[in-house]
Structure 1
Amino acid sequence: MIEVYTDGASKGNPGKSGIGIVFKSSTIYEEHSFQIGIYSNHEAEFHAVIKALELCKEKYPNEVLSFRSDSKVVVDTIEKEFTKNKDYLPLLEQIQQLSSHFPLFFIKWIPEKQNQQADRLAREIIREEN
């Protein structure tokens, strides 16, 4: 099982956005960060989950995935498999499609304090110049 910590950050809302991803297991520790363009903070949080799933599909295709996020909006949307927000719907559908490739995928909400590494990565990348 791989624990995957994700976070998104935006400079402005919407604004320049970045994501941070941390993979942890008994044999793995990886940090990733990406600039993703102009998004709202919530959209950046969704994009962090999407990018993490894409990386897992490439690197760890048969693993059980335990995602953690400090975004209640993202976790609730994924767990309920529903959103009224038309901007989040295609993001949810992409997450559902990507997560279907794994034997088991689940996500849980964690306090910001437990997500500091992914948060740091997301914030650092938006401070960088392109």
Structure 2
Amino acid sequence: MYTLYTDAATNNETLHSAAGILIVHAGKQQQLRASLPNSDNHHAEFHAALAGFDALLKLLNGTANNVTVQYFTDSKIVADSVKKSYAKHYQKLVDELLAKQAEFSLVITQWVPEKQNQGAHNLAQQALHERD
């Protein structure tokens, strides 16, 4: 099983956004930072989730169909939208995220409070600082 944490950070003045991605497997961590498209924080959270699953797919090199992923996000809108397969203003991003998740045998999406997502949060802040 792989554990994936993602978080987004957005500068509300410039709309620059960045992602923090933490992948944990077999007691080892991979910490990644990514620049995201300029957007508000809700869009950025979806883009961070997509970047996280892209990174995991790249790491697995085409063997995702036998992999279970426990996915943690501190974004309620991302977690709720995945659960319902629907988001009024973000449906295109929800569909993209669900398509990426479908490449794995099982994805368990869980919302966590920000304090339980500090690894990805700190990486997102670092990436945003580098971008600004």
TM-score normalised by L of structure 2: 0.90
Q: Distance in 1 between matches of 2:88 and 2:13?
A: 20
Matched with 2:80 is 76
Q: Distance in 2 between matches of 1:109 and 1:89?
A: 19
Q: How far apart are residue 129 of structure 1 and its match?
A: 4.2
Q: Distance in 1 between matches of 2:99 and 2:17?
A: 23
Partners of 1:2 and 1:64 within 8 A in 2: yes
1:72-97 C-alpha deviation (Å, 9 max, x unpaired) = 11100011111111xx1111010111
Q: Distance in 1 between matches of 2:131 and 2:102?
A: 35
SS of the aligned residue for 1:12 comes to coil
The gaps in structure 2 that reach 5 residues or longer are none
Q: How far apart are residue 57 of structure 1 and its match?
A: 1.6
Matched with 1:36 is 36
1:104-123 matches, within 5 Å, as 104-123=106-125
Matched with 1:101 is 103
Amino acid at match of 1:44: A
The gaps in structure 1 that reach 5 residues or longer are none
Matched with 2:16 is 16
Amino acid at match of 1:68: F
Partners of 1:33 and 1:125 within 8 A in 2: yes
Structure richer in strand, relative to its length: 1
Give the fraction of aligned pairs with identical amino acids, expressed as a percent: 30
Matched with 2:67 is 63
Q: Distance in 2 between matches of 1:21 and 1:71?
A: 14
Aligned length: 128
Q: Distance in 1 between matches of 2:116 and 2:8?
A: 15
Name whichever of 95-104 and 26-35 sits farther off. Answer: 26-35
SS of the aligned residue for 1:38 comes to coil
Q: Distance in 1 between matches of 2:121 and 2:18?
A: 10
Q: How far apart are residue 27 of structure 1 and its match?
A: 3.9
Partners of 1:19 and 1:36 within 8 A in 2: yes
Q: Please tell me the root mean square deviation across aligned C-alpha atoms, in Å.
A: 1.5
Runs of 4+ in 1 over 6 A off after TM superposition: none
